[in-house]
Structure formats: structure tokens, C-alpha cells
Amino acid sequence: MRRFGLASVTYALGFCIMAICSVIGLFPADRLSWIGLVFVLVNAALFTVFRLHLNLRFADPSLTKLQVLIGVLMVFCILILGDQVHFLAVPFYSSLFVFAMLRLSKREVLQLEFCVLCSYAAAVAVRNTLYAGTIDLRIELIYLMLVVLSSVWYAFAAGYISSLRTRLKESRRAVEQLAIRDALTGVWNRRHIDHLLAAEIERKSRLGGNFCICMVDLDHFKTINDQFGHTMGDVVLQKVAEFMQSQLRSTDQIGRFGGEEFLILLPGITLKDTVDCAQRLLSNIATLNLLAPHAHSVTISVGISECSASETPTALIDRADRALYVAKENGRNCLVVH
């Protein structure tokens, strides 16, 4: 709606300029009323489309290209309705290009430039027919050159702005990923996995279904750091996280809960299937030679809990954590269900 509001203000300003031209005798007053009526009808139609949210069916909900093409058509009508308003072509087309640059890509602006040039050339031809003997073709050609040069400049400027928008979007996505990803392992960080856990529990409370979680802890991780160094410990964390993520479904989520602990969310899966999944992770990780060439295997312990009705995230995690504690007490490299 804000882009539509900007377009409406531009239409209003354009109409005010046309009214001034009419007052000083540069544009016929009877034709000004028709221009005003078209302005009102176009804005009413666009307002209805936005109000009914019909614009959401299109790739560009702001309908920038459509609004600009309507503007090009209206400038064409203004140029052929008045024989002394050719000087309005450059400022009117410039306002359309500025409006388009804020949203359209360089390719789309080039397409717009082609439409503008064709439209203005057609207007010049029609004006030469309607007002033969009263217009100076030399002046018309000068304004045509101005339209061409300004269109080319705006096309290059649009390309630059489009590249800035692309870089801005990429930077924004990078910042968003930094805010939700664990810097070392690349899985979700603690804050985001907590958010996903709360969302899954809320979804279960509304729709029902199964939901289980696994609390995973690397066994003897302090010994790995002490014996092989923290750099090797970081590599082990990265490889274990990468392997676990590769073994999960696309609907599952994994995040680093803290230190060497990971939290896995398994929506829409029974407790039995969760145990089978955790057992596969446990068995396969134990066979990975993560500390090569050292003959030292890396194992994990897993605590599993199934979400019950009306259970809070804190309570669910607490049960999985207690199960993990029992797995550690049972000698590690095993899983326990709570």
C-alpha cells in the first residue's frame, strides 16, 4: 500500500501540473477534466485491488511494473491531447523511472526504457499528424533526444541500485544466519533451537501428533580436548554435528545446546522410531574414525523423551536431560528413555 500511496501522490502532483498548464493556456481545459477522471478511475481500481489483497497473487505484490506502464500510457495520452505540453515528457518520464528504480531489476528497467521510447516516438508521430503546422519538429526531436538520454541514465542507475539491493539482501541473510547458527558447527544455536522447540510443542498442542526429542552428549569430550588439543576437539564437534544432521529427516531439527551437547527435535515420529533413530546415530558415530590416525573412538550418549500433552519446553528438556544423566551413569555410549 505504501508504494500505491507514493504512486497516488505522484498522480496528484502530475494533475496539479496539468491544471497549472491549463490555467496559463498550455492545455485545453475540457481535456483536463478527462485526464482528472482517468486519474481517479485508475487510482480507484488500484486501491480496490490492494484493498481486496488481489495483488498478493502476483510475484510483485506492489504491482510496480503495472503502475509504471499505466503511467507511460497516461503520459502518451497527455502528449497527444495538448500541442504545447511536450516539455512535460522528461519530468513525467523521470518520475516513472525513479518509481521503477526502487523495485524493478535492471532488465525490467531496460524493458521499461524500450516502452517509454516507443511510446514517446509514437506520441511524436501522432502529434505531427494532429498538430501539423503548429509544432516544431526540431523541438520535438530535441525532447526525444532528452528522453533517450535520460532513459539511458536511469537504466544504468537502476542497474546500480539493483546490485545494491542484491548485496543488501545477501548481507541481511548472512546476518540472520549468524543470529541463529552456531558459529562452530553450523547447526542451530541455543536460542534458535529453543525457539523451534517451543514452536513444535505449540503445534502439537493445537494439532496433536507425536513429538520426541533427543539430548545428545559427546562422551569424554574433556579427555579429547586434554589429550588431543582444543583444535581437534572443535573438529570432532563439527564432524559429529555434520554427521548427525546428514542422518536426520528434512523435518527434523538439530541445535547445539551447549558445550558438547546437542538437542535434536523429531516431530511426527513415535517413541519407538525415535529410539531406532538414536540407536543408529549412536552405533554409526562409534564406528567413525574421527581422531585418525589416533586409535581413539568417539562415542555419544543419548537421553530421549516424548512430549506429553500440555508439557512445557522446560519440563520436556528436563526429562531428556535426566535420561542423558542416567545414560552417563550406565557407562556412556548408550541411550535412555525417560
CA 305-311-314 angle, to 5 degrees, is 75
Catalytic residue among 113, 140, 200, 260: 260
- How far is 40 from 256, CA to CA, in rounded Å? 58
- How far is 270 from 263, CA to CA, in rounded Å? 17
- How far is 68 from 107, CA to CA, in rounded Å? 15
Cell 522410531 sits at which residue? 273
- How far is 122 from 165, CA to CA, in rounded Å? 34
In the residue annotation, 260 being an active-site residue is answered as yes
Q: Is the peptide bond before 313 cis (omega within 30 degrees of 0)?
A: no
Secondary structure in 3-state letters for the chain:
CHHHHHHHHHHHHHHHHHHHHHHCCCCCHHHHHHHHHHHHHHHHHHHHHHHCCHHHHCCCCCCHHHHHHHHHHHHHHHHHHCCCCHHHHHHHHHHHHHHHHCCCCHHHHHHHHHHHHHHHHHHHHHHHHHCCCCCCHHHHHHHHHHHHHHHHHHHHHHHHHHHHHHHHHHHHHHHHHHHHECCCCCCECHHHHHHHHHHHHHHHHHHCCCEEEEEEEECCHHHHHHHHCHHHHHHHHHHHHHHHHHHCCCCCEEEEEECCEEEEEEECCCHHHHHHHHHHHHHHHHHCCCCCCCCCCCCEEEEEEECCCCCCHHHHHHHHHHHHHHHHHCCCCCEEEC
Q: Any idea which residues carry the catalytic annotation? A: 260
